[in-house]
A = this chain, B = another copy of it.
Amino acid sequence: MNLKTLSFSVRIATIMLLPWNVVSAGDTTLYKMLLENGAINQEQYEQLLKYNELQKNEGKMEEEVSKPKVDTQVKANVGSNNFQYKIGGRTMIDTAFYHDDVTPLNNSTKFRRVRLFIKGKMFKDWAWKTQYEFAGSGTLKDAYLKYMGLGDTTTLYLGQFGAAGSLEDSNSSKYITLMERALPVLAFSPATRYIGMGLSTYGNNWSFKTTLAGENGKTDELERDGLGLSGRMTYAPWHENDRVLHLGISRTFRIPRGNDTIRFGTKPEIDSNNMLIDTGRITAVNSYSIFGLETAWTRGPFSLQGEYIKTNVTRENISSLAFSGWYFYGSLFLTNESRPYDVMRGDFGRVNPKHPLHKGGVGAWEIALRLSSLSLEDQDIKGGKEDNLTLGINWYVNSNIRFMLNYVKAKVKDAVTSGEDENIDIVGIRTQVDF
């Protein structure tokens, strides 16, 4: 390969690996000279400029990096074919201080999430993603294939991906308002990743997702293997830039596998080394179902969000069980941002500070207060009850880096670890970057 062919081949590009596009503006100098010298006429000059303009539009910084979807960054389509790649990930480092009561909750600094993914698009209608969690002992998170050829608004999923269910559980951990999801979401986790099939679709103000979910790759200490069918429907009567009303309902039906046991439990709302409430293994389970109601409202910098989740367990020759919980929180951006709603997914996306640090601003500042409650007690199951009050301050330095400070006051009744009531205070700090 000589230098001349090289000069051409170097224009080959990797479109998806960059979140922004860049264009060549240098040729305009030549055009101008040629016009001035009469080598081309005004009309030709303008035509060439128009090309350059196209370039610039093509290349202008993507304003809407806030959208958490693959597709917004998947643009180039070469002829009838395409092959695109994107690499990324997230790192969350938590430091937590526990003023424990009876059960010891050790102060710690640890990686909460260290994920890398590679995803891409091929042949117009197909996309794929592989994501691995390096924190802890390592877990395969996503590994799926998407088919988008059923229509503009419909996507078919094959592989391991999150099941349908719950606003907060569907929402990426990169975008949730407080460090951890709320107690009932953590305990029932309706959007757990399983291997299966799924279909998602949306309209102007609604979204729908249904999943047929089997097992998952990891050894699940909370015994959720089996087969499940889930659905989630969301409706947003209005969703303008900074005014959103979101309503949603979800339902999961699962049959456990093998030894017919399930288990629900959760740590407090800052990750710790002990689950204080926990059903333990519930045996002789025929099936269980999770039912969720969700709502959210934003108006400018204010937002409210809440969910109610109820889980019913039917058992062989024993009476059925019911556990339920709820959470409710309010958030306020002191710097006047608004939580961005994604109607296609029926959840919230990336916060882009109006005045990020690198532009001389203070970033975005948000305060939030959440109340949550969960009971894991019913009949013979004495899993304890817990109420959490969580106060959070978020500092979004820019679109991709935020620092979180959370204070959690946890009141536990009949903690399974101690058998006693406990009053716990926890302070947590998170450093988060996603790329």
A301 within 8 A of B: no
A47 within 8 A of B: yes
Cβ-defined partner of A145 (8 Å) among B15, B20, B38, B433: B433
Given contacts A24-B7, A24-B11, A401-B145, are A195 and B89 in contact (CB under 8 A)?
A: no
Known: A11-B55, A37-B44. 6 other contacts (CB 8 A): A17-B85, A30-B48, A37-B38, A93-B160, A110-B195, A116-B118
Q: How far is the CA of A258 from the CA of B23 in the complex (A)?
A: 56
Determine whether the beta carbon of A135 is less than 8 Å from that of B217: yes
- A residues 10-30 touching B (CB-CB < 8 Å): 10-15, 17-26, 29-30
Determine whether the beta carbon of B87 is less than 8 Å from that of A87: yes
A318 within 8 A of B: no
Residues of B within 8 A of A12 (CB): 10, 13-15, 18, 21-23, 59
- A residues 410-435 touching B (CB-CB < 8 Å): 431, 433, 435
Determine whether the beta carbon of B83 is less than 8 Å from that of A196: no
Residues of B within 8 A of A145 (CB): 91, 401, 431, 433
Q: How far is the CA of A283 from the CA of B143 in the complex (A)?
A: 41
Chain A positions within 8 Å of B, measured between CB atoms, are 1, 3-15, 17-26, 29-31, 33-34, 37-41, 44, 47-48, 51, 54-55, 58-59, 61, 75-81, 83, 85, 87, 89, 91, 93, 95, 106, 108-111, 114, 116, 118, 120, 122-126, 128, 130, 132, 134-135, 138, 140, 143-145, 149, 158-160, 195-196, 214-215, 217, 258, 356-359, 397-401, 431, 433, 435
Determine whether the beta carbon of A15 is less than 8 Å from that of B9: yes
Determine whether the beta carbon of B4 is less than 8 Å from that of A26: yes
Given contacts A130-B116, A160-B111, are A47 and B24 in contact (CB under 8 A)?
A: no
Q: How far is the CA of A54 from the CA of B258 in the complex (A)?
A: 63
Q: How far is the CA of A215 from the CA of B135 in the complex (A)?
A: 14
